Structure 1
Amino acid sequence: MTDTTGAELTRPASVAAMLVERVEKSGTQEAYRYLEGDRWVSLTWRETKDRAYVLAAGLLALGVEPEDRVAITSGTRMEWILADLGVMCAGAATTTVYPTTQGADVAYILSDSGSRVIFAENPDQARKVLDHRADLADVIAIVLIEGELDDELVITWAELERRGREFLAEHPSAIDDTIAGIKPEHLATLIYTSGTTGRPKGVRLIQDCWTYEGVSIEAYDLIGPDDLQYLWLPLSHVFGKALITIQLQIGFATAVEGAIDKIVDNLSVVKPTMMAGAPRIFEKVRARVMMGASHGLRGKIFNWAFAVGHKTIPIRLEGREPTGLLALQYKIADKLVFSKLKARMGGRIRFFVSGSAALSREVQEWFFAAGLLILEGYGLTETSAASFVNHRRAPRLGTVGPPVPGTEVKIAEDGEILIKGPGVMSGYHNQPEATAEVLSEDGWFATGDLGELDDHGYLRITDRKKDLIKTSGGKYVAPQKVEGILVAACPYISQIVVHGDGRKYISALITLDPDAISTWAKENDLEFTDLASLVEQPAVRQLIDGYVTEANAKLERWETIKRFAILPGELSVESGEVTPSLKIRRKAVERKYSVLLDGLYDRD
């Protein structure tokens, strides 16, 4: 068992208290940067607190009481953060709802949580609530972040602020008094797990979960107050929520913009020093760069540079720099190739953080070869996100690092990872039986993930316990390993779902990156009308088959992909095949394509 609890980590009583302390320390410094039209504008910490106080007062004026639930259904934007801080300063608890959630599920979450007020991004989000108003007796108001809607339950953001200012004029100490009454054990957030199977469960995270998260990452000495974060992650996900809470404790600035398709363009403008993301983002960047430098002299220079970069990896992982001829070669490689890649990302990136799913070692090494460090971390909604993260000064690629200060870990006899610490949830909302299944009486949380600790105490994730495949021949296969190797090998693959539980061999469903495969098709004079028609062409099948063969060479015999099918389009959140945090819902995909999967075995 690894125990890093050490000395008690002193922390504020609540998230709102963290905000107050941050303003006292650095009130005039930049806290946030966000887009107004095409222009980036800033908020200082004091301005942020003032706006949060007004929103909190507006909530109190509506009748919100301590630990009442206030839902936010919106994409990542500045108003999400302000609304959340307003909820925290009102002593209430935020219920997070993804904007992609269907109306029936929105109603379930709001009903199960007992949410009383909802911040809705626009009229479309508000209508999801109004369509189920008969089942939502607890709802007293819907606050529209943008747009207007004529309904007695609906008020605008501006109207909430107006009521808040009036409330503060009559009760000037109301918010400070409310914050003083918030206790560490009070509910702070209800995050409904997006769930790769079944209905979502509401994870109860108390104030102490978040304040601990802030001080533990600060003690880890990973991020400093002078850093600038680029934040695009969905704030309804625990990863995004954790980052804005960590920011309160450390005091760095954050540029907020939720558009995934604008990430690379915005990085060159914002010039951040750090960014967190899901593995899919890094995989796509790598694939696009490789596609753009795959031919002629440019391709030869590119391949030479990365070959040199890979030679330096063992040296740099030991904290040393290459010497002699290798140092000269790396300097040339950086000038010709790597510097341009770094410039596309703003030129100031100190590190990326990858979480929410497994990142393949091949992708991590590719970035590191170019001088871009991706620190893989690990945690779950039930552990307030970051329970493990790699050391910036001593990264071990292929692991998620050691536990953060204050968190304990042990590996069960069957290989399951068990976690204990202040970041662990108090339980599932309204589900004591489900809570008892994963949370022991002495505080150990069963993650459902399999892993092992190396000699340095760094954790290596094997796979999800429930995802582990057992073939009819009795061989166990970790699908994430197989999928990671193939995605890293092929720049045209977007997603892959490995299948084979109870089957004779492993098969796979594959989706292709529309831009990458279309570019390849045009370069090879293939005629097509859309992606669906393109993936049916024998030349495309032959192309992907070559990469599958290449990946299979790196796998054990029983892990190799014997047959595969290429789907006509990418798996999506809208179709229910992917969670909002970009995790594939394996069971949903296997159900949807069961006939196709059966066909991959019928020929035997």
Structure 2
Amino acid sequence: MGKVTRVFDLVDRYNTIYQSKENAICIKDNGTWNCRSSKDYYNLSHLLAFHLYNRGIRKGDKIGIVSTNRPEWCILDMALGMLGAINVSVYTTLAEEEYKYIFDHAEIKMLFVSDPQIYRRVKNIIPEMVKESLYSFLPILDIPLWTDFFNDQEAPTEEQLRVVQGLKNEVLPDDIATIIYTSGTTGKPKGVMLSHKNLVSNFVQHSKNHSLGENTKVISFLPLCHIYERSVLYHFQYKGMAIYLVDNIAKISTMIKEVRPHMFNTVPRVLERIFDGIIKKGNQLGSIQKAIFNWAVSLGMKFDFHEKKSIYYRLSLAIADKLVFKKWRDALGGNIQIIISGGAALQPRITRVFGAAKILALEGYGLSETSPVIAVSNAVTNEYMAGTNGPILPGVEFMFGKDGEILCKGPSLMKGYYKAPELTREVIDEDGWFHTGDIGTLIQGKYLKITDRKKEIFKLSGGKYIAPQAIENIMKESLLINELMVVGDREKFASAIIIPNMEEIASILNISNEKEIDLPQAQKIVQKEVNRLNKRLSEHENLKRIKIVSDVWSPETGELSSTLKLKRGYISKKYKQVIEDIFKN
């Protein structure tokens, strides 16, 4: 019972093991939480599969989805899997030319959009063949709703179930379930082909890394089109957890307090903002409370998951928990136990302080091409270490290349890039090893640590190599720095373009309006902070000169990818003159 070999088997598992769950998948619309039960999930996904089949959708057809996180996305995803159709789900923040490229390249046969705002982003470039097969999850003028498929039918008939079951029987674990177009930092996106076997082998394995189960709640706010959030969403369903979807990342703080989750998935930048927000509130306390707060944080900075501390430290930590850390947990809903972070390196100080506050901030590592997890911290076996990605996930074959590049293979490795066998051969060698492009090492022979991207490492004119990501991670520990990109390829020294935290600088200068800040004055403050952090780096890694710019970097403005990674090529081109000015003389 409940055996999962294809992604859509999750629906049958839900309907057997967790059949009484009323809040299987929930969304807040118009101020009210609307929840689909496990039975609803089963009925609607099978109904939709039947009607999509009647509309001509067949095995191997590619179906586009541009949607925020909604239950309809989950239901459609499962229905497509039952037909052997391929889910081509893409980000809601892409430019028109990117949508056009993906829709054309994938040759989508039908398109689903979530709401009017998303429709406006894509309406001008929808392929002609798709215009008559366009549906929406929420009402849009003149666009048919996804519920139009059902004609008010709430459950499939026995005959409809027999038809769908026959179609499900034709879907093999090795069939392609999805094509995920990587956001990338340069060039056109590549379509990563992942099979049911790829996905299932990965999420079943990483679901074993914690003991939370059907009596717990989770929130999901990262884009479901990204393999990271999607895989963990499947893992949540596999364990029967109640899932509360958040359709706008700006709502996270409110939703956390409202849902009171036991666990959620995030990227470092979001967790950094949560942490910085807590620190900022602590600095606004009265003198005595502020002193207690800072004492608790300093204790947290010394926290170690495995090192046996003195009785004095443990007693101090217990006091700090009652006076400070409990309030942190309450601010995160009061139930929070585990936060999973991925997509980039998480600052060790955050892992330590949250660990001291009895919140496990578990870090993982992977890529779209590996479905995605290669390594992740394990709460069941207590295998986690601040500053690392945890041990290699069981089932993943792993080794280092001669230059330290991480290589892997196994059941979760993609089938290849869609329509691009030559690109596939560039990353999967003749022995079947996938070359990740990441440089890493094993700490204590067990814990994977990423040190940099192979292609991002550059050399100074003096011959010394610079790994920019490692420097950036140290600099971003400062509350004064929001974003930065290290530059200096073939130059005499390393430097950086920095987006400062003007709010924090205004606080230091005792200025109420950020717009009144004099940039040269802000530059001096940030440079002083950089000089302090430079002491933690080797001499050749020191940022000798910096340049602050009062911009905002985001996926919408182009400097960050949809997973909040730096688009180094775009930034270098945009700030070409700034970079040239830094290295003059």
Classify the TM-score, shorter chain. Answer: over 0.9
Name the amino acid aligned to 1:525.
Answer: I
* 1:142 equivalent in structure 2: 134
* 1:508 equivalent in structure 2: 496
Please tell me whether residue 548 in structure 1 is matched to residue 530 in structure 2. yes
1:127-168 Cα deviation digits (max 9, x unpaired) = 5544234x5536651111122233xxx422221332987996
1:280-336 Cα deviation digits (max 9, x unpaired) = 01111122222222263333222111222334x23x424x5x553222211221122
Give the secondary-structure state (helix, strand or coil) at the position aligned to 1:171.
helix
Q: How does 1:64-103 map to 2 (within 5 A)?
A: 64-103=57-96
Structure 2: distance between partners of 1:146 and 1:437: 42
Please tell me whether residue 261 in structure 1 is matched to residue 250 in structure 2. yes
Structure 2: distance between partners of 1:513 and 1:96: 34
- CA 1:164–1:423 in 2, change beyond 3 Å: closer, same or farther? farther
Task: Report the CA distance between 1:482 and its aligned residue.
Answer: 0.9
Task: Report the CA distance between 1:265 and its aligned residue.
Answer: 2.1
Structure 1: distance between partners of 2:162 and 2:130: 28
Please tell me whether residue 104 in structure 1 is matched to residue 97 in structure 2. yes
Structure 1: distance between partners of 2:295 and 2:312: 14
Task: Report the CA distance between 1:460 and its aligned residue.
Answer: 0.9
1:195-247 Cα deviation digits (max 9, x unpaired) = 10000000000111111123212344554333322111111111111112212
| Further displaced range: 72-81 or 546-555 | 72-81
From 25, 33, 46, the equivalent of 2:26 is 33
* Number of residue-to-residue matches in the alignment: 579
Please tell me whether residue 19 in structure 1 is matched to residue 7 in structure 2. no
Give the secondary-structure state (helix, strand or coil) at the position aligned to 1:317.
coil
Higher relative contact order (CA 8 A, sep 6+): 1
TM-score for the superposition, normalised by structure 1: 0.91
Aligned partners of 1:114 and 1:138 also within 8 Å: no
From 250, 272, 286, the equivalent of 2:239 is 250
* 1:60 equivalent in structure 2: 53
Please tell me whether residue 326 in structure 1 is matched to residue 313 in structure 2. yes
Please tell me whether residue 586 in structure 1 is matched to residue 568 in structure 2. yes
Structure 2: distance between partners of 1:563 and 1:238: 38
- CA 1:67–1:277 in 2, change beyond 3 Å: closer, same or farther? same
* 1:348 equivalent in structure 2: 335
* 1:4 equivalent in structure 2: none
1:439-472 Cα deviation digits (max 9, x unpaired) = 1233211101000123332211011111112111
Structure 1: distance between partners of 2:404 and 2:128: 43
Give the secondary-structure state (helix, strand or coil) at the position aligned to 1:15.
coil
Structure 1: distance between partners of 2:81 and 2:523: 53
Structure 2: distance between partners of 1:230 and 1:161: 28
Task: Report the CA distance between 1:397 and its aligned residue.
Answer: 1.4
1:390-442 Cα deviation digits (max 9, x unpaired) = 12223111111112121111000011100111111000000000000001233
Aligned partners of 2:383 and 2:390 also within 8 Å: no
Aligned partners of 1:61 and 1:163 also within 8 Å: no
Aligned partners of 1:231 and 1:276 also within 8 Å: yes
From 286, 301, 314, the equivalent of 1:310 is 301
Task: Report the CA distance between 1:268 and its aligned residue.
Answer: 1.7
Aligned partners of 1:56 and 1:164 also within 8 Å: no
Aligned partners of 1:204 and 1:428 also within 8 Å: yes
Structure 1: distance between partners of 2:504 and 2:273: 10
* 1:3 equivalent in structure 2: none
* 2:511 equivalent in structure 1: 525
Give the secondary-structure state (helix, strand or coil) at the position aligned to 2:59.
coil
Structure 2: distance between partners of 1:140 and 1:66: 20
Give the secondary-structure state (helix, strand or coil) at the position aligned to 2:391.
coil
Give the secondary-structure state (helix, strand or coil) at the position aligned to 2:277.
helix
Q: How does 1:175-574 map to 2 (within 5 A)?
A: 175-221=164-210, 223-294=212-283, 296-311=287-302, 313-314=303-304, 316-318=305-307, 322=309, 324-392=311-379, 393-488=382-477, 490-513=478-501, 515-520=503-508, 524-525=510-511, 528=514, 530=515, 534=517, 536-574=518-556
- CA 1:142–1:518 in 2, change beyond 3 Å: closer, same or farther? farther
Structure 1: distance between partners of 2:207 and 2:266: 20
Where do 5+ consecutive residues of structure 1 fail to align? 1-9
Please tell me whether residue 44 in structure 1 is matched to residue 37 in structure 2. yes
Name the amino acid aligned to 1:501.
Answer: D
Task: Report the CA distance between 1:99 and its aligned residue.
Answer: 0.9
Q: Over the residues paired in the alignment, what is the CA RMSD in angstroms?
A: 2.2
Task: Report the CA distance between 1:273 and its aligned residue.
Answer: 1.1
1:463-494 Cα deviation digits (max 9, x unpaired) = 11111121111111211111111111x21321
Aligned partners of 1:209 and 1:424 also within 8 Å: yes
Q: How does 1:156-175 map to 2 (within 5 A)?
A: 156-162=145-151, 171-175=160-164
- CA 1:281–1:476 in 2, change beyond 3 Å: closer, same or farther? same
Structure 2: distance between partners of 1:14 and 1:527: 55
- CA 1:338–1:61 in 2, change beyond 3 Å: closer, same or farther? same
Give the secondary-structure state (helix, strand or coil) at the position aligned to 1:86.
helix
Task: Report the CA distance between 1:180 and its aligned residue.
Answer: 1.8
- CA 1:515–1:254 in 2, change beyond 3 Å: closer, same or farther? farther
Structure 1: distance between partners of 2:401 and 2:315: 48
Structure 2: distance between partners of 1:223 and 1:598: 52
TM-score for the superposition, normalised by structure 2: 0.94
Structure 2: distance between partners of 1:373 and 1:66: 42
1:255-283 Cα deviation digits (max 9, x unpaired) = 11132222122212211111111000111
Give the secondary-structure state (helix, strand or coil) at the position aligned to 2:497.
strand
Aligned partners of 1:387 and 1:407 also within 8 Å: yes
Identical counterparts, % of pairs: 31
Structure 2: distance between partners of 1:269 and 1:254: 13
Where do 5+ consecutive residues of structure 2 fail to align? none
Give the secondary-structure state (helix, strand or coil) at the position aligned to 2:194.
strand
- CA 1:527–1:45 in 2, change beyond 3 Å: closer, same or farther? closer
Aligned partners of 1:57 and 1:175 also within 8 Å: yes
Give the secondary-structure state (helix, strand or coil) at the position aligned to 2:164.
helix
- CA 1:362–1:480 in 2, change beyond 3 Å: closer, same or farther? farther
Aligned partners of 1:222 and 1:391 also within 8 Å: no
Task: Report the CA distance between 1:580 and its aligned residue.
Answer: 1.1
Aligned partners of 1:219 and 1:405 also within 8 Å: no
Task: Report the CA distance between 1:519 and its aligned residue.
Answer: 4.9
| Further displaced range: 407-416 or 437-446 | 437-446
- CA 1:520–1:136 in 2, change beyond 3 Å: closer, same or farther? farther
- CA 1:165–1:255 in 2, change beyond 3 Å: closer, same or farther? closer
Give the secondary-structure state (helix, strand or coil) at the position aligned to 1:173.
helix
| Further displaced range: 124-133 or 138-147 | 124-133
- CA 1:181–1:248 in 2, change beyond 3 Å: closer, same or farther? farther
- CA 1:55–1:514 in 2, change beyond 3 Å: closer, same or farther? farther
Name the amino acid aligned to 2:377.
Answer: N
Name the amino acid aligned to 2:42.
Answer: K
Task: Report the CA distance between 1:499 and its aligned residue.
Answer: 0.9
Name the amino acid aligned to 2:291.
Answer: K
| Further displaced range: 201-210 or 559-568 | 559-568
- CA 1:397–1:570 in 2, change beyond 3 Å: closer, same or farther? same
| Further displaced range: 76-85 or 381-390 | 76-85
1:555-603 Cα deviation digits (max 9, x unpaired) = 111111111111222111112211111111011101110100111111x
